[in-house]
C-alpha cells in the first residue's frame, strides 16, 4: 500500500468528516418529522385538545410543534423508520400524560385528551430551589409546571432558557404564552442529557447502553426508563402506579396510530430512580 502523507491524511479525514456530517444532515432533511406525522394524524392523536373544556385550547398547534422540531434536527430522524416513529409516539405520549384532561369514561377514551393544559393549576409551591445558586430564582416568579412537559423548578427554567435564547428565570411565563417556546422546552428536556440520567432521545433511539449502575438498579432501556428520567423519584420503584399506567396507555394508542410496536420494558415499577 502506498504511503499517505500527513497532509493528505488530514485532508482525507476532513473530507470524511464533512461527508458523514452531510449524510446526517441529509437524513434529517430527507426524513423530517413532518413526513412522519401529518396534520391529520396529529389531530387524530389529540382529538380533544381544542375543546372549550381544555384550558389550552388552540394553543398546541401542529404548526408550532413542527416548527419547534426543526430546532432539534436529531429528534425523530435517528435510526430506522420504525425507531423514528416510535420516538415521536413516545414523546407525544409523555407530554400527553403531563397535560392530560382525560378521565376513565371520557369521550373517545382517556387517551384522546392530551395537550389539554398548558400550565399547572393550583400549584402547591412556586417551585423555587433557593439552594441552587447557579440558577437563582427571580423575586416574585413562579417556576410551576408549564408547557407540554410541564417544565418545573428554577434550574430547569434557567437551563432551558439559556439553551433556547430566552430568560427563563425572569420570564418563565413565556412557556405558557408562546406555543413554539412551549414545544421547544419540551423537546429541549427530551433531547438533553442530565447526568446520571441519559436523554430520553438516546433511550428511545436505541443509542443508550445500560451502565453498571443501571443494571444494579434494574433500569432497563425502553419507555419505562424514559418515565424514570422524567419523574422517577415519584413514580418508579413502587410497584404498579396509575400515573405510569396512564403514560403507557397513551403510548400504546399512539404507537398503534403510527403503526409501530411499543417495544419492551414499558413500565418502571421495579426500577430504582436515578
Find, among 68, 65, 58, the residue nearest to 37 by Cα.
65
27, 29, 98, 134: which is the annotated catalytic residue? 98
Find, among 232, 148, 235, the residue nearest to 188 by Cα.
148
- b/e burial code for range 150-183 (CB count within 10 A of at least 16 → b): bbbbbbbbbbbbebbebebbeebebbbebbbbbb
The rounded distance, in Å, linking the Cα atoms of 149 and 219 is: 22
The rounded distance, in Å, linking the Cα atoms of 157 and 137 is: 10
Mention every residue, 6+ apart, whose C-beta is less than 8 A from residue 80.
Answer: none
Half-sphere exposure of 115 (CA within 13 A, CB side): 24
Query: Are 59 and 181 contacting, i.e. CB atoms less than 8 angstroms apart?
Result: no
Helix axes 179-191, 62-69, angle to 10 degrees: 40
Mention every residue, 6+ apart, whose C-beta is less than 8 A from residue 150.
Answer: 98, 99, 120
Is the dihedral angle over the CA atoms 127, 132, 138, 139 positive or is it negative?
Answer: positive
Q: In the chain, which ranges are continuous DSSP H helix?
A: 6-30, 33-36, 39-45, 62-69, 81-98, 154-164, 174-177, 179-191, 200-204, 212-216, 223-235, 242-257
The yes-or-no answer on residue 233 being catalytic is no
Instruction: Please give the positions annotated as active site.
Output: 98
Amino acid at each position: 500500500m502506498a504511503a499517505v502523507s500527513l497532509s493528505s491524511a488530514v485532508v482525507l479525514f476532513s473530507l470524511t468528516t464533512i461527508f458523514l456530517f452531510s449524510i446526517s444532515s441529509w437524513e434529517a432533511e430527507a426524513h423530517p418529522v413532518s413526513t412522519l406525522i401529518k396534520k391529520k394524524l396529529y389531530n387524530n392523536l389529540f382529538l380533544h385538545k381544542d375543546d372549550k373544556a381544555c384550558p389550552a385550547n388552540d394553543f398546541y398547534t401542529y404548526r408550532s410543534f413542527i416548527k419547534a422540531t426543526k430546532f432539534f434536527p436529531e429528534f425523530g430522524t435517528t435510526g430506522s423508520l420504525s425507531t423514528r416513529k416510535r420516538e415521536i409516539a413516545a414523546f407525544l405520549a409523555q407530554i400527553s400524560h403531563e397535560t392530560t384532561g382525560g378521565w376513565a369514561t371520557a369521550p373517545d377514551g382517556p387517551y384522546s385528551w392530551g395537550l389539554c393544559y398548558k400550565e399547572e393549576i393550583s400549584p402547591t409551591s412556586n417551585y423555587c430551589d433557593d439552594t441552587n445558586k447557579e440558577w437563582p430564582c427571580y423575586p416574585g416568579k413562579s417556576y410551576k409546571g408549564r408547557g407540554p412537559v410541564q417544565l418545573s423548578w428554577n434550574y430547569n427554567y434557567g437551563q432551558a432558557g439559556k439553551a433556547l435564547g430566552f430568560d427563563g428565570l425572569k420570564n418563565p411565563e413565556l412557556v405558557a404564552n408562546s406555543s413554539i417556546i412551549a414545544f421547544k422546552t419540551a423537546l429541549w428536556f427530551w433531547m438533553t442529557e442530565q447526568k446520571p440520567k441519559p436523554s430520553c432521545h438516546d433511550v428511545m433511539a436505541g443509542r443508550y447502553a445500560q451502565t453498571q449502575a443501571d443494571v444494579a438498579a434494574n433500569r432497563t432501556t425502553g419507555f419505562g426508563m424514559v418515565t424514570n428520567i422524567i419523574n422517577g423519584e415519584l413514580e418508579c420503584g413502587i410497584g404498579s402506579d396509575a400515573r405510569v399506567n396512564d403514560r403507557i396507555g397513551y403510548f400504546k394508542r399512539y404507537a398503534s396510530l403510527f403503526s409501530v410496536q411499543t417495544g419492551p420494558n414499558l413500565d418502571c415499577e421495579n426500577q430504582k430512580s436515578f
